[in-house]
């Protein structure tokens, strides 16, 4: 019973942490891609870089 409760607690912590990370990433992307004083070319390069970073994150596999 303790193990089941611990697993549920860890699952809840993971979900909460995941939501927080997603929120921060969304905010950073919005800021980086919508600075009014930055040229469209730079914003396009930033978007391309964010896409590359996203691909890297998607391809990360669990070592376990």
Tell me the average pLDDT across 36-64: 91
Q: Identify the pLDDT of residue 20.
A: 94
**Virtual CA dihedral for 10, 11, 12, 16, nearest 10 degrees?**
100
- The model's pLDDT over 6-48, given as tens digits with 9 standing for 90+, comes to 888 899 999 999 899 999 999 999 999 999 999 999 999 999 9
Is 90 exceeded by the pLDDT of residue 62?
A: no
Give the separation between CA 7 and CA 28, rounded to whole angstroms. Answer: 31
Q: Identify the pLDDT of residue 37.
A: 95
């Amino acid at each position: 019973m303790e193990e089941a409760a611990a697993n549920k607690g860890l699952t809840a912590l993971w979900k909460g942490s995941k939501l927080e990370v997603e929120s921060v990433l969304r905010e950073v992307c919005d800021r980086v891609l919508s600075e009014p004083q930055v040229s469209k070319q730079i914003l396009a390069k930033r978007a391309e870089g964010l896409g590359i970073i996203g691909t890297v994150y998607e391809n990360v596999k669990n070592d376990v």
